[in-house]
Chain A
Amino acid sequence: MSLVKIAGLHKHFGTNHVLKGIDLEVASGDVVALIGRSGSGKSTLLRTINGLETTDKGELVVDGTALHDGKGDLRALRQKVGMVFQQFNLFPHLTAGQNVMLAPTVVKGTPKAEAQDIAKEVLLKVGLSDKFDSYPDQLSGGQQQRVAIARALAMRPKVLLCDEITSALDPELVSEVLAVVRQLAAEGMTLIMVTHEMRFAREVGNKLIFMHHGRIHESGDPKTVFADPQTPELANFVGAVQPA
């Protein structure tokens, strides 16, 4: 039984057909890496999984909550799907703790004391329990991104989407964020990530998806796919991003 099931998904931006029939199944505990050139549709695909991008046609089911041809209960879906962005998108007027507590209290009606406990727990998980009262602009990029991960985790999502979450970070801050993601994967969190960190995708991922021109061009176990690309496009891409 798969946790995320996508079937025949199509999306247009005006006349531009960006997703041309995506079929994808993700099991609970899978760590999926989406790779491909810019414009291949990988970010769009990721963003359709919590309804940030609408779809024209096709089926999306996450843990029993379905969207048919882009229609369905978006808020129910979003409570099951967390997301972390390239630009962090923390709420600048709230402290780290308040950022994490907002959705549980407002969306789920969790009592404040309980939400505070949840916030402390998830901030501890990302190694920032001492930053509860810090505002985002007092934190480094890596710390902000870890708060963003904690904020998503506080809603107890079934699956976490990561959209190039290390791309906006200074090189020396990338590893602290990847360490958190690695730990989440080890704990059995289902992750779907768009990434340019090929080595990370190979180490931590158990499923690799190569997008090309709006289709899943090639997919499989990252170690075998990277070692032995079956299509010239993937071979080309792998060669371009990590010269041997």
Chain B
Amino acid sequence: MLVQFSTWDIVRNLLDAGKWTLALSLIAFVLGGIVGLAILFARIADNRVLQAATKAYIEIFQGTPLLMQLFIVFFGLSLVGIDVSPWLAAAAGLTLFTSAYLAEIWRGCVEAVPKGQWEASATLALTYPQQMRHVILPQALRIAIAPTVGFSVQVVKGTAVTSIIGFAELTKTGSMLANATFEPFLVFGLVAAGYFALCYPLSLYAKSLERKFHVAR
């Protein structure tokens, strides 16, 4: 059976797949943000064991390719008898990856708050959680907004790697279409345009935030 694909068919299929890329990006970013926040608190806690454990976590995810992390989640779990769908493996893998990077970005932002802010709030008899909540985090948040939005671009592009474990997002759909239509240049050109359409606004937004918060301080 030979099916003829019009250009519109290609675009329509890619748009459909683009929704999955977008969904995966959002899930990885939101869940990664939540996990990353937990990692952040452990990373900066006054506890050597927590510090060392979270440092190792961050180093492992930053020091290995995302592709290997996905392989390990996908094949590793099925090896121990847990059958995970490509969708679940992709979401879990990207969440872990995102959490490690965000925790590290945010740690930098917390440490960018001047030491005098810690001292002044300590002098006023605030407890550590009170210092964090009322003095340190509100300032770290301002610093963190621009790099966090900037990193979301990396997450969107990172979703492309999940095509390898068979998750049918933009890239995977693109390669299937390329095989079926014998028009790889057109198809991958459109795939690239799709990623660009997702990432470019984020980059612009990050830049404008950076400018805004830079002027404010």
Chain A interface (Cβ within 8 Å of chain B)?
50, 52, 75, 78-79, 81-83, 85, 87, 89-93, 102-103, 106-107, 137, 148, 151-152, 155
Partner of B126, one of A83, A89, A92, A106: A106
Chain B interface (Cβ within 8 Å of chain A)?
114, 116-117, 119-127, 130, 134-135, 138-139, 142, 217
A230 to B159 Cα, complex, angstroms? 76
Which 6 pairs from chain A and chain B are nearest by CB?
A89-B120, A103-B124, A89-B116, A78-B125, A83-B123, A79-B125
Chain A residue, CB-CB nearest to B141: A93
A107 touches B124 (CB 8 A): yes
Partner of A75, one of B127, B134, B139, B142: B127
Partner of B134, one of A106, A137, A148, A151: A106
Closest CB in chain A relative to B145 CB, distance in Å: 13
Q: Which of A87, A89, A107, A152 has the most CB of B within 10 A?
A: A89
A91 touches B135 (CB 8 A): yes
By secondary structure, the A interface counts as mixed
Partner of A91, one of B117, B122, B125, B127: B117
B125 touches A75 (CB 8 A): yes
A89 touches B138 (CB 8 A): no
Closest CB in chain B relative to A111 CB, distance in Å: 17
Counted as pairs of residues, one from A and one from B, with CB atoms less than 8 Å apart, the total is 57
A145 to B211 Cα, complex, angstroms? 29
Given contacts A91-B120, A155-B125, 6 further A-B contacts (CB under 8 A): A52-B119, A78-B122, A83-B120, A83-B123, A89-B119, A89-B120
Partner of B130, one of A85, A93, A107: A107
B119 touches A85 (CB 8 A): yes
A137 to B215 Cα, complex, angstroms? 12
Partner of A87, one of B116, B126, B217: B116
A151 to B56 Cα, complex, angstroms? 41
Chain B residue, CB-CB nearest to A50: B123
**Chain A residues positioned under 8 Å from B142 (CB to CB):** 93
A103 touches B116 (CB 8 A): no
Closest CB in chain B relative to A26 CB, distance in Å: 18
A81 to B122 Cα, complex, angstroms? 11
**Chain B residues positioned under 8 Å from A102 (CB to CB):** 124, 126, 134-135
Chain A residue, CB-CB nearest to B124: A103
Given known contacts A75-B127, A106-B134, A85 and B116 CB-to-CB distance under 8 angstroms: yes
Residue pairs across A and B with Cβ atoms less than 8 A apart, 6 shown, are A75-B125, A91-B134, A93-B138, A102-B124, A107-B125, A107-B126
A217 to B191 Cα, complex, angstroms? 77
Chain A residue, CB-CB nearest to B120: A89
Closest CB in chain A relative to B38 CB, distance in Å: 24
**Chain B residues positioned under 8 Å from A155 (CB to CB):** 124-125
Chain B residue, CB-CB nearest to A98: B134
**Chain B residues positioned under 8 Å from A87 (CB to CB):** 116
**Chain A residues positioned under 8 Å from B217 (CB to CB):** 92, 137
Chain A residue, CB-CB nearest to B123: A83
**Chain A residues positioned under 8 Å from B130 (CB to CB):** 106-107
Q: Which of B117, B121, B123, B139 has the most CB of A within 10 A?
A: B123
**Chain A residues positioned under 8 Å from B138 (CB to CB):** 93
Closest CB in chain A relative to B33 CB, distance in Å: 21
**Chain B residues positioned under 8 Å from A148 (CB to CB):** 120
Closest CB in chain A relative to B43 CB, distance in Å: 23
Closest CB in chain A relative to B122 CB, distance in Å: 7
Closest CB in chain A relative to B209 CB, distance in Å: 16
Closest CB in chain B relative to A207 CB, distance in Å: 23
Q: Which of B117, B134, B139 has the most CB of A within 10 A?
A: B134
A52 touches B126 (CB 8 A): no
Partner of B125, one of A89, A93, A103, A137: A103
A189 to B134 Cα, complex, angstroms? 29
